Amino acid sequence: MAVLSKGNLFDPVLTKDLINKVKGKSSLAVLSAQTPIPFNGSKEFTFSMDNEVDIVAENGKKSEGGASVDPVIIVPIKFEYGARVSNEFMFASEEEQLDILKEFNEGFAKKVARGLDIAAFHGLNPRTGEKSAVVGENNFDSKVTQTVTYANDNPDDCLDTAIATVEDADCEVTGIVINSAVRSDLSKMKSTTGDPLYPEFRFGGKPSTLGSQALDTNNTVSFGSETKDQAIVGDFANMFKWGYSKDIPLKIIEFGDPDNSGRDLQGYNQVYIRAEVFMGWGILDANSFTRVVKA
């Protein structure tokens, strides 16, 4: 049992399972590719050619086309979650301990997934709902200035306009994130004959595509009282990068007040389970995205 009082790591199987669960519950993880992030951070470069190709006559003068390279620094930040459990955990059989850790793994995956979306979409600390100085401007609400005003009677037109806005900036769209209100509005739209235009959205339906675009429905896109985001469209596949670095440490703490609650663990016959993950992300080109917002 002594090993449980020290810093430990999730079993590799649990770690893989945790990351798979994160991918399935985070819109950003669903629509974009995960890339390993070094613990000290990484640089992602966007290379763009400033002009069109030039037609040159025989013996004609050639001119410079020009190119620009913009670096985006991705630095992992720490996401932490902990919970108090009865110290009977320390005396349980290995099978029962594993069951508890599997449940913790399940919950931690959900919180990490939501945390990635909330922080990267809005720059908020998921627990407090307030702006995070650690995240700073590295979020869609701060960087993406292209917006389309949402109209609940024409949600498809709003999304189509948002896509056109990205394409007008010479970028492409690979995915869409919508909240449940937009999903509901799409389900209510009817044709001139009274038939549902989008029957796949009815009765809570959450299709994975809309037209030719990958789609995910998640209320994290509207998290927080200040945000007015109803949907975000853009090139998630190429212009948003995320990943985690380092092993995911799991620690069983037997002494002290690790959550600053004012209650000593030993005094309440408890132990504290804490897990941490370091994740980083970067928006490589803000013009590749448009936010659909309330008026």
pLDDT in tens, 221-234: 999 866 689 999 99
Please report, for the chain, how many H helices and E strands are present, in that order. Answer: 7, 13
Please give the Cα distance from 244 to 74 (Å, whole number). Answer: 11
For 273-291, what is each residue's pLDDT tens digit?
998 888 999 999 999 999 9
Q: Is residue 65 part of a domain?
A: no
E strands, 12-150, in order: 42-49, 67-74, 77-86, 147-149
Q: Is residue 60 part of a domain?
A: no
For 199-252, what is each residue's pLDDT tens digit?
999 999 999 999 999 999 999 999 986 668 999 999 999 999 998 877 778 888
**Local confidence band at 64 (pLDDT 50, 70, 90 cut-offs):** low
At residue 157, what is the residue type?
Answer: D
* CATH number of residue 105's parent domain: 3.90.1690
| The total number of structural domains that make up the chain | 1
Q: Examine the pLDDT at 129 and tell me if it is beyond 50.
A: yes
pTM: 0.84
Q: Examine the pLDDT at 1 and tell me if it is beyond 50.
A: no
Nearest to 189 by CA among 149, 154, 150: 154
Under DSSP, is residue 176 helix (H, G, I), strand (E, B) or coil? Answer: strand
Nearest to 104 by CA among 255, 264, 252: 252
Q: Is residue 66 part of a domain?
A: no
Q: Is residue 231 part of a domain?
A: yes
Q: Is residue 63 part of a domain?
A: no
Q: Is residue 53 part of a domain?
A: no
Q: Examine the pLDDT at 41 and tell me if it is beyond 90.
A: no
Q: Is residue 127 part of a domain?
A: yes
For 102-120, what is each residue's pLDDT tens digit?
888 888 888 999 999 999 9
Q: Which domain holds residue 44?
A: 2-48+71-293
Between the two ends of the chain, the Cα-to-Cα distance in Å is 58
pLDDT of residue 157: 97
Please give the Cα distance from 232 to 162 (Å, whole number). Answer: 8
Mean pLDDT of the chain: 86
Q: Examine the pLDDT at 2 and tell me if it is beyond 50.
A: no
Q: Is residue 185 part of a domain?
A: yes
